Structure 1
């Protein structure tokens, strides 16, 4: 395999999708603070992983791996891992403890997610919640609670080490090429129509912009280059920062140099941003083209 690194960066638009421990009757959204003094909402990569795996299971594409707590730790069942190699254990890794004094068996994740981080600062918005309907039906006063909220653009990135998919030294697995391709393409398919169920809401995490491809180098090429800026009330994707990456080159061999843009696919939702830069491909079509590149990469001769 010549091209071993898959990377895709997504832009989505949603309300907060992850919460920290609250206090009293206030639910606290996950957030971080920057040196500028601004506060930004985020959703952890663990929460994204949870939603992606759930999506695949709910749609009958994957099955949950079997779990056990025999060693006092909640983990994948090693008895199953000896017989078969479930998709989530393959792509997202594991650590199997074997008891006191015995070395654990570990597999690093080959599919990795960044946090889902907002482009726009949080302004302290809160939503008042009540159980007024139930209270009225009982003829009593309602209970009240507050939840931190906001609405805006977020980005996250997915990367996959294609050369490590389906191979596991701990339990001796090496899946067929066709199964390896299917697992990676299923993962990309989940991101096309992803949602997250949170606090009675179903948040739409389908992409409104994607950029990525399959490369000879493993790198999050676009994660820090994708930015949304506002001109007045209209959002724009900062194409200048993307252009620098797209025009960058890397060396494959002494005789071969690649331009990143030649291997990259972009997709954008029409009418969402102030300028689509002449891109006519939808995010869904762009992801389908990246899936085709995954298949080609597995079939390439060294």
Structure 2
């Protein structure tokens, strides 16, 4: 093997996920950087979505040893269980740990957080229940002789912060770790390794997220990366977007020249879209992933 990694840094229009609620109020997860607050979607949330949507969790088997954990034994191992590709810790008998073959960063908003609060209620459901059970929850309360039925309709107003904004995240796949487990003599064959990597790439290309009952199109709008010698999030520090504008600096241009590609979904998502086109001659998103798939096949088959 050539001991290389596949690394991608992606700009997508993504909603944040939620932290702890207080009563009937839900707040988005946030991080504090450079004196400002930014909304975020956690790497754990992204990884779980990728594992589920790629089909890598289709053969997931779970055991409980104090806590629920992935099942690993002589019959269920990295060669025949793709769910283990995301890593595991198994404490049945001897504790064995196998690190994930791919790593993600948090998806952090490109611009500081601006609170947009949404207010909702379950009025229709409560009305239907009240009608069926002859409950009048619109009547004025008589505090001394309050009919308890008036408060049993289940009417519940609630509110939550909402954020959907351009966010940056990175993913790096250690190609030589895919389908390999130092705790097991077995490993996946070449065809299986290729399919596992391609399933992750296909999912990133068409990623969707369910947030508060809404489907979120999280496809890449701008993407930098490819296969190279750097087993790190190579573009994470040089891809920066502010106010819908990509900061085109020498550091970014130099790294692209090291054998990497750029993909762009054209359509006015970035104010300086023409500058991006003139500087990088980007591929379309579909072309970017098609070429990357061929690179993955060549890497494993050569």
User: What is aligned with 1:63?
Assistant: 58
User: What is aligned with 1:195?
Assistant: 208
The alpha carbon displacement at 1:207 in A equals 0.7
User: Paired residue for 1:247, among 243, 247, 254?
Assistant: 254
Deviation per CA, 1:255-299: give whole Å up to 9, x if none.
xxxxx5242111111121122322352222212212221222223
User: What is aligned with 2:81?
Assistant: 86
Deviation per CA, 1:26-63: give whole Å up to 9, x if none.
10111111232x21111111111111122123xxx762
User: What is aligned with 1:95?
Assistant: 89
The alpha carbon displacement at 1:215 in A equals 0.4
User: What is aligned with 1:157?
Assistant: 170
User: What is aligned with 2:124?
Assistant: 133
Task: Give 3-state SS (helix, strand or coil) of 1:106's partner.
Answer: strand
Q: Report which of the two structures shows the higher radius of gyration computed on alpha carbons.
A: 2
The alpha carbon displacement at 1:136 in A equals 4.2
Preserved CA contact (<8 Å) 1:68 1:77: yes
Matches of 1:114 and 1:49, distance apart in 2: 9
Structure 1 residues 34 and 280 mapped into 2: Cα distance closer, same or farther (>3 Å)?
closer
Structure 1 residues 176 and 208 mapped into 2: Cα distance closer, same or farther (>3 Å)?
same
User: What is aligned with 2:151?
Assistant: none
User: What is aligned with 1:120?
Assistant: 111
The alpha carbon displacement at 1:205 in A equals 0.8
The alpha carbon displacement at 1:83 in A equals 8.5
The two structures have a TM-score, normalised by structure 2, of 0.84
Preserved CA contact (<8 Å) 2:179 2:193: yes
The alpha carbon displacement at 1:135 in A equals 3.8
The alpha carbon displacement at 1:77 in A equals 1.5
In terms of mean alpha carbon deviation, does 179-188 or 140-149 score higher? 140-149
Matches of 1:245 and 1:120, distance apart in 2: 19
The alpha carbon displacement at 1:244 in A equals 1.5
5 Å matches for 1:186-265?
A: 186-230=199-243, 235-240=244-249, 243-248=250-255, 261-265=257-261
Task: Give 3-state SS (helix, strand or coil) of 1:14's partner.
Answer: strand
Structure 1 residues 81 and 131 mapped into 2: Cα distance closer, same or farther (>3 Å)?
same
User: What is aligned with 2:270?
Assistant: 273
User: What is aligned with 1:175?
Assistant: 188
The alpha carbon displacement at 1:105 in A equals 0.7
The two structures have a TM-score, normalised by structure 1, of 0.84
The alpha carbon displacement at 1:4 in A equals 1.2
User: What is aligned with 1:22?
Assistant: 21
Deviation per CA, 1:158-205: give whole Å up to 9, x if none.
101111111112122222212111111111111011111122111111
In terms of mean alpha carbon deviation, does 124-133 or 204-213 score higher? 124-133
Preserved CA contact (<8 Å) 2:79 2:189: no
User: What is aligned with 1:252?
Assistant: none
Matches of 2:236 and 2:25, distance apart in 1: 32
User: What is aligned with 1:105?
Assistant: 96
Matches of 2:253 and 2:292, distance apart in 1: 16
User: What is aligned with 1:255?
Assistant: none
